[in-house]
């Protein structure tokens, strides 16, 4: 429901949706816009021409784009993030007080859910925000990464860490030993996440089974964990279950395993193919072979599970570029992707402390420039052939990840 009004000569728009409340206050230059979940957490803000996004862990990213210029992105420190939350809260509190006193005129009274949204947002002051972040860290081990279409998921950590942890370009789980939770421990975690989210659960769209590759868990241990998810959450109402399956040197699931998982609500699996070239995969110390990914994707598709396939642009630099493009096209074309699937092009991000940086130095690799990485993506895309509807093709920038 949309409510329009005026406050102090400023046009006001209040959108009360089932999942969030959005409050827009026009000013002479541009509108300030704030969205909150129904626990009162700031979700997004547009303030002074800068777009902000707050994660459940309290981290906040700011993005600004000037006309004709590239977009700038900056992660705020915790004090800056708190001050943005407080600036938003003050405006929202001022507007709500004006609505209640009749100083702000609305074309229709706020619905009860709208009043609740305002009151929860106003109550979420700096102390409450800090307590919320502390509660988050009680509930979660650090959430390393999610696919971009899963940033609004409910993450449930059925496992912790990565069972491989060998890939030289990946540091997400380096200091976290892999382990599989027992059903009782996982049940306690799933309940704690639900308590933590509170009424903010309405903003969450799916359930993502973490961490890196929860689906490597053998079926006899995986199915009881999925039963726990169904005990605690309405999986269908939340849009199904999603997970990574990364690295294929371990136990392989059959098409009938995937059918069983589809019955349990598994909707899409994200597969880190990285490259179709075996030599490059070996250089990256990625477990398994490209054909393992192809076979796994085909088995999932046969079971009615969609996939998100991730390709690492720039991997192996100039040395591997031609083979990377050629064999990645071959591997993707063999997967039988369709309109249900997503193909992600993720640019290699190399920090100096990654083993990849050391290996690339010793191998004398000349890296691809950002422009060359984009061209690599276009070359791969150009070679793809799909029998029916094409999958969605998107960028995946791991530096933008926020949960
Ligand atoms: S298998 Fe995936 S999560 Fe594990 S180290 Fe490799 S890229 Fe990282």
Of 127, 162, 188, the residue at which a domain comes to its end is 127
pLDDT at 42: 98
5 closest CA partner among 93, 90, 88, 102? 102
In a domain, 135, yes or no: no
pLDDT at 65: 74
Q: Could you tell me if 120 and 159 lie in one domain?
A: no
End-to-end CA distance of the chain: give it in Å, rounded.
27
Rounded Cα distance between 347 and 330, Å, is 20
Q: Could you tell me if 151 and 88 lie in one domain?
A: no
Q: Could you tell me if 220 and 367 lie in one domain?
A: yes
- What HEC string does the chain produce? CEEEEEECCEEEEEEECCCCEEEEECCCCCCEEEEECCCCCEEEEEECCEEEEECCCCCEEEEECCCCCCCEEEECCHHHHHHHHHHHHHHHHHHHHHHHHCCCEECCCCCHHHHHHHHHHHHCCHHHHHHHHHHHHHHCCCCCCCCHHHCCCEEEECEECCCCCCCCCCCCCCCCCCEECCHHHHHHHHHHHHHHHHHHHHHCCCEEEECCCHHHCCHHHHHHHHHHHHHHCCCCCCCCEEEEECCCCCCCCCHHHHHHHHHCCEEEEEEEEECCCHHHHHHHCCCCCHHHHHHHHHHHHHCCCEEEEEEEECCCHHHHHHHHHHHHHHHHHCCCCCCCCEEEEEECCCCCCCHHHHHHHHHCCCCCCHHHHHHHHHHHHHCCCCCCCCCEEEEECHHHCCC
170 lines ligand 1 (CB under 6 A): yes
CATH code for the domain in which residue 212 is found: 3.20.20.70
250 closest CA partner among 284, 219, 282? 219
Number of domain units in the chain? 2
144 lines ligand 1 (CB under 6 A): no
> In testing the pocket of ligand 1, which one of 161, 177, 271, 286 has its CB within 8 Å of the most ligand atoms?
286
Rounded Cα distance between 167 and 97, Å, is 54
pLDDT at 28: 74
160 lines ligand 1 (CB under 6 A): no
Cis peptide before 206 (omega within 30 of 0): no
Q: Could you tell me if 35 and 103 lie in one domain?
A: yes
In a domain, 51, yes or no: yes
Q: Could you tell me if 123 and 157 lie in one domain?
A: no
272 lines ligand 1 (CB under 6 A): yes
> In testing the pocket of ligand 1, which one of 169, 172, 350 has its CB within 8 Å of the most ligand atoms?
172
pLDDT at 67: 67
Q: Could you tell me if 67 and 154 lie in one domain?
A: no
Per run of 10 residues, the mean pLDDT along the chain (length 403 residues) is 92 96 88 96 95 97 80 92 97 96 94 97 98 98 95 97 92 90 98 98 96 91 98 97 81 90 97 97 94 94 96 98 98 98 96 94 95 97 96 95 95
Atom of ligand 1 nearest to the CA of 170: 8
pTM to 2 decimal places = 0.94
Q: Could you tell me if 372 and 261 lie in one domain?
A: yes
In a domain, 134, yes or no: no
Token pair for 375: 């061209």
Residue 57 in contact with residue 81, Cβ under 8 Å?
no
310 lines ligand 1 (CB under 6 A): no
Phi-psi domain of 332 (left: phi exceeds 0; alpha: psi -120 through 50; beta: other): alpha
Q: Could you tell me if 283 and 167 lie in one domain?
A: yes
**For ligand 1, atom 6, which residue shows the shortest CA distance?**
167
Q: Could you tell me if 66 and 178 lie in one domain?
A: no
In a domain, 281, yes or no: yes
In a domain, 156, yes or no: yes
Q: Could you tell me if 115 and 237 lie in one domain?
A: no
Rounded Cα distance between 227 and 240, Å, is 13
Q: Could you tell me if 106 and 205 lie in one domain?
A: no
167 lines ligand 1 (CB under 6 A): yes
* C-alpha 7 chain-centroid distance: 36
Rounded Cα distance between 270 and 51, Å, is 28
Rounded Cα distance between 298 and 305, Å, is 10
In a domain, 133, yes or no: no
In a domain, 132, yes or no: no
Of 75, 99, 127, the residue at which a domain comes to its end is 127
In a domain, 242, yes or no: yes
Q: Could you tell me if 117 and 144 lie in one domain?
A: no
- Its domain, for residue 89, covers 2-127
Of 98, 127, 156, the residue at which a domain comes to its end is 127
Residues 6+ apart with CB under 8 A from 97: 103
How far does residue 343's CA lie from ligand 1's centre (Å)?
Answer: 18
CB atoms within 10 A of CB 145: 20
């Amino acid at each position: 429901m949309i409510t329009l009004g005026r406050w102090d000569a400023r046009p006001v728009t209040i959108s009360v949706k089932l999942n969030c409340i959005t409050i827009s206050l026009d000013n002479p230059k541009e509108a300030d816009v704030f969205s909150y979940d129904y626990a009162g957490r700031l979700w997004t803000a547009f303030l002074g021409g800068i777009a902000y996004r707050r994660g459940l862990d309290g981290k906040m990213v700011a993005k600004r784009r000037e006309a004709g210029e590239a977009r700038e992105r900056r992660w705020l420190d915790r004090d800056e993030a708190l001050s943005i939350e407080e600036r938003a809260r003050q405006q929202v509190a001022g507007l709500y007080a004006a609505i209640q006193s009749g100083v702000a005129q609305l074309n229709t009274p706020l619905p009860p859910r709208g009043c609740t949204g305002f009151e929860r947002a106003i109550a979420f002051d700096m102390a409450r925000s800090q307590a919320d972040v502390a509660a988050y860290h009680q509930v979660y081990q650090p959430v390393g990464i999610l696919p971009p279409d899963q940033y609004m998921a409910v993450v449930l950590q059925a496992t912790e860490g990565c069972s491989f942890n060998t890939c030289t370009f990946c540091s997400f789980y380096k200091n976290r030993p892999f382990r599989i939770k027992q059903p009782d421990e996982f049940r306690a975690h799933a309940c704690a996440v639900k308590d933590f989210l509170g009424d903010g659960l309405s903003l969450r769209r799916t359930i993502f089974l973490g961490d890196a590759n929860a689906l490597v868990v053998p079926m006899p241990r995986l199915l009881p964990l999925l039963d726990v998810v169904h005990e605690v959450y309405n999986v269908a109402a939340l849009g199904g279950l999603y997970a990574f399956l990364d690295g294929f040197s371990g136990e392989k699931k059959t098409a009938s395993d995937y059918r069983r998982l589809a019955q349990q609500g598994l909707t899409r699996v994200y597969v880190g193919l990285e490259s179709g070239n075996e030599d490059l995969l070996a250089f990256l110390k990625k477990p398994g072979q490209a054909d393992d990914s192809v076979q796994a994707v085909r088995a999932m598709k046969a079971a009615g599970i969609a996939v998100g396939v991730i390709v690492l642009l720039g991997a192996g630099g100039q040395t591997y570029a031609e083979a990377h493009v050629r064999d990645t096209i071959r591997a993707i074309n063999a997967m039988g992707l369709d309109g249900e699937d997503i193909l992600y092009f993720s640019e290699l991000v190399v920090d100096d402390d990654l083993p990849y940086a050391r290996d690339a130095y010793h191998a004398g690799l000349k890296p691809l420039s950002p422009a060359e990485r984009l061209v690599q993506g276009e070359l791969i895309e150009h070679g793809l052939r799909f029998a029916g509807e094409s999958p969605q093709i998107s960028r995946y920038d791991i530096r933008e990840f926020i949960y």
